[in-house]
Homo-oligomer: A and B are copies of this chain.
Amino acid sequence: MREFIPPASRFIDLPAGFPMKRGGALYGARIAYETFGRLNAERDNAVLVLTGLSPDAHAASHAGDPAPGWWEAMVGPGKPVDTDLWHVICVNSLGSCKGSTGPASVDPRTGEPYRLAFPELSIEDIADAAAHTVRALGITRLACVVGASMGGMTALALLSRHPELARTHISLSGAVHSLPFSIAVRSLQREAIRSDPGWRRGRYDEETYPRRGMLTARKLGMMTYRSAQEWDGRFGRTRISAQRRAGQGPFGLEFEVESYLDFHAQRFSHCFDPNSYLYLSHAMDQFDLGDSCGGSAAGALSLMRVEKALVMGAQTDILFPPAQQLEIAEGLAAGGAEVEYVPVETPAGHDAFLVDVDRFGPPVAKFLAIVS
């Protein structure tokens, strides 16, 4: 079992007996976080960033860790989330393997990694842990909570359960729940891991590791993170060299697109704990904002107390399609928030918030300028 903790991450302990929504409680659990930019004297310039499934708390480089972060282009001095103005807090999700407590962490009751003994994880638990972290840092009201992808779900759960905690909200490629296509994708990703003989019901080690299952899961994910149009332009039908094709055996990789998927999946497969992946993926499928309001996501959105919101998504997103962003925008507006809805024409698909900074940056910068 390995955790992958960025060197500059700091930690906030969760209270003993931290209750999990679907049963069980955590003892000795902690949340990893990093901060960027200074908290002002009024303590009212804090912006919380909630991440997608796989990122850690290292959103951007800073003095304590000069390595580029996962949102380097968006967070920093003079960048759309401007750390000359804002005190940005990025938390690693509860259940992850990148510093916060999750299935790869040691259960203090047994001295062994939790593995599948970790209680069922929900998006609401991730939100509660993030809210606790913010408060433990001495912040009672965030200027903004920013959530992208799974982080968009987490932000909605946080706003629903801690309505006074944030003044405004930026939702990027988020959703009030998962639709069947994305459930099917994640179900197949989990199946690839679970059916790898190396998984051993979560009891793998470095030697018996479900590498093949992780590879398939990641490739499948990558196929849904971008768009077919982007790949048409980027790869077309270009083949890899005969040299790189050699020695693969029958039906090996031939096209650039296959090589691209394989390269990135190989890199990922040993940098994320398979059990954590299963827990987080499952939590996304289970999440339904409407659960907090008699089944009505619109009702739950209308009860949120944010003053302003920016809701963005990519028209080419097949995982969290544009109609889901519109749903968030309309729901928040119905509750009285001043909402800006920005559907983005981009070939970058679900990952657009990560890679299409030209299109996502300016609306975020403009929104935060109004908020400040």
Interface residues of chain A, those whose CB is within 8 Å of chain B, are 116, 177-181, 183-185, 187-188, 190-192, 194-195, 197, 201-202, 212, 216, 219-220, 223, 228, 231-232, 234-237, 249-251, 253-258, 261, 278, 282, 285-286, 288, 318, 321
Secondary structure call for the A interface: helix
Q: Would you call B255 and A223 a contact (CB within 8 A)?
A: no
A181 cross-chain contacts in B, Cβ below 8 A? 223, 228, 231-232, 257
Q: Would you call B216 and A192 a contact (CB within 8 A)?
A: yes
Q: Would you call B179 and A251 a contact (CB within 8 A)?
A: no
A235 cross-chain contacts in B, Cβ below 8 A? 180
CA distance A285 to B258 in the complex (A): 11
A231 cross-chain contacts in B, Cβ below 8 A? 179-181, 184
The residue that A255 contacts in the complex, of B192, B261, B285, with Cβ under 8 A, is B285
CA distance A231 to B321 in the complex (A): 13
A286 cross-chain contacts in B, Cβ below 8 A? 254
Shortest Cβ-Cβ A-B pairs, 10 listed:
A181-B228, A180-B231, A180-B257, A180-B235, A187-B258, A190-B251, A195-B212, A184-B257, A183-B255, A184-B223
Provided the pairs A183-B257, A232-B180, A321-B228 are in contact, do residues A250 and B202 lie with their beta carbons within 8 angstroms? Answer: yes
CA distance A195 to B198 in the complex (A): 13
- Number of copies of this chain that the complex holds: 2
Provided the pairs A219-B188, A220-B188 are in contact, do residues A288 and B237 lie with their beta carbons within 8 angstroms? Answer: yes
The residue that A179 contacts in the complex, of B184, B202, B228, B282, with Cβ under 8 A, is B228
CA distance A254 to B286 in the complex (A): 9
A-B contact pairs, 25 of them (CB 8 A): A116-B250, A177-B237, A179-B228, A179-B232, A180-B234, A180-B235, A180-B236, A181-B228, A181-B231, A183-B237, A183-B258, A184-B223, A184-B258, A185-B223, A187-B257, A188-B220, A191-B219, A192-B192, A192-B216, A195-B212, A228-B321, A251-B278, A251-B282, A254-B286, A318-B318
The residue that A197 contacts in the complex, of B177, B197, B228, with Cβ under 8 A, is B197
A179 cross-chain contacts in B, Cβ below 8 A? 228, 231-232, 236-237
A195 cross-chain contacts in B, Cβ below 8 A? 212, 216
Chain B min CB distance to A108 (Å): 22
A256 cross-chain contacts in B, Cβ below 8 A? 180
Chain B min CB distance to A54 (Å): 18
CA distance A216 to B184 in the complex (A): 11
Q: Would you call B187 and A255 a contact (CB within 8 A)?
A: yes
The closest CB in chain B to the CB of A261 belongs to B184
A278 cross-chain contacts in B, Cβ below 8 A? 250-251
CA distance A194 to B212 in the complex (A): 11
A216 cross-chain contacts in B, Cβ below 8 A? 188, 191-192, 195, 216
A183 cross-chain contacts in B, Cβ below 8 A? 237, 255, 257-258
Chain B min CB distance to A217 (Å): 10
The closest CB in chain B to the CB of A288 belongs to B237
Chain B min CB distance to A334 (Å): 21
CA distance A9 to B96 in the complex (A): 56
CA distance A237 to B250 in the complex (A): 40
Chain B min CB distance to A196 (Å): 9
The closest CB in chain B to the CB of A254 belongs to B285
